[in-house]
Amino acid sequence: MHRFVPSSGKRTEVVLLVYTGLYPIWLTAPPAQWLLTNSLSREFIRKEYGGFLETFDSYPFPVQRADAIRYFVLDHYGGIYLDLDDGCARRLEIMLEYPAWLRRSLPTGIGNDALGSVPHHPFIKRVIESLENYAIPSALPCINFRSVVNDARATRVADLLSDFRALQYSIVSVTCDSPRPDGFYTEGYAALRQCSVDGQHVLNVAADTRVPTGRSGPAEQEKAELTQVLLDSFSRRHEAQKICMRQSAAMRWVAWRDSVLLRPDPSHVPALVSGDQALRAELATVTDENIYNLLRNSD
């Protein structure tokens, strides 16, 4: 476990006393559990990553050194890093089963306040390689991490659009015409026609992914643009999923109706009415909240 105390002097001493009082092993054990300070961080960089020491010392903001050191420690030792203000609701041993992980964070997608990896993981290596390019004064000193995160955002957009395309294929593959003349105005076929119209509408609406041009550099501009594209992709997939679920309910109604009408008989009317009621009940469950929960769990 690695944690960083981003200051020096009395405040650091107080923090060390508090945390080592709770977890004395942090200062007595090897870096399996390690509370980092400014001096320990610089010494670690000097000893293990000497080629980066000049850049490390040149950072104008302490938070830049706090951001940077976590990647080097994870690259060297592996393990789990947590900011001091992060707590745990349960034990973290299960996270050691993953070669690399980060915590979901809004609105940026993922954050660097809690992360873990095995030693020398390619993702952490990529983050470290990007640090040199962003060793400049900035109002957003975490920009180095954001540049790598932008690659993940672009991949996420591709995944969402792939899901959306598959859903659209499913929508257009379903016929909405009744084989029986008297079926046109029935509830199930009316629902299928509406699904077809709604699916076409989602395709026709142009994506508005414009964002104002900022002054924080190309990586931040790319982040803003990708965030806007992500919102549009999430919205389209959400609507397509909702259409598909309504369509599936209507298709079950069609199968039920066809089975009832195999041998037409006046006594089948109650069964047809029951089918209509079941369809209305099922369509009522296809809500935005349920779709959101379904997609969140699948993601």
Q: What is the mean pLDDT of residues 13-39?
A: 46
Confidence band, pLDDT 50/70/90 cuts, at residue 11: very low
Q: Which of 149-158, 171-180, 242-251 is least confident?
A: 149-158
**Considering only CA atoms, which of 33, 30, 29, 49 is closest in space to residue 41?**
49
Q: Where are the domains of the chain?
A: 2-141, 154-298
| Percent of the chain scoring above 90 in pLDDT | 23
Count of alpha carbons within 13 angstroms of residue 205, beta-carbon side: 14
Question: In the prediction, which pLDDT does 8 show?
Answer: 44
Confidence band, pLDDT 50/70/90 cuts, at residue 25: very low
Taking 90 as the threshold, does the pLDDT of residue 245 lie above it?
A: yes
User: For the segment 194-208, what is each residue's pLDDT rounded down to a tens digit?
Assistant: 999 998 888 887 777
Question: In the prediction, which pLDDT does 89 show?
Answer: 73
Helix 143-172 vs helix 122-131: angle between axes, to the nearest 10 degrees?
Answer: 130
Q: What is the mean pLDDT of residues 250-258?
A: 91
The chain-wide mean pLDDT, for the chain, equals 76
Taking 60 as the threshold, does the pLDDT of residue 5 lie above it?
A: no
**Considering only CA atoms, which of 226, 95, 74, 96 is closest in space to residue 149?**
226
98 burial level (CB within 10 Å; 0-12, 13-18, 19+): exposed
Task: Return the beta strands (E) in 46-170 as ranges.
Answer: 79-82, 100-105, 109-117
Decide: helix, strand or coil at residue 116.
Answer: strand
User: For the segment 53-81, what is each residue's pLDDT rounded down to a tens digit?
Assistant: 998 988 877 777 888 888 998 999 888 88
Q: What is the mean pLDDT of residues 256-270?
A: 83
Q: What is the mean pLDDT of residues 133-138?
A: 50
Q: Which two tokens stand for residue 227?
A: 């965030």
User: For the segment 217-241, what is each residue's pLDDT rounded down to a tens digit?
Assistant: 676 777 777 778 888 888 888 999 9
Q: Between 121 and 38, name the one with better pLDDT.
A: 121
What is the widest separation between alpha-carbon atoms in the chain?
90
Taking 60 as the threshold, does the pLDDT of residue 31 lie above it?
A: no
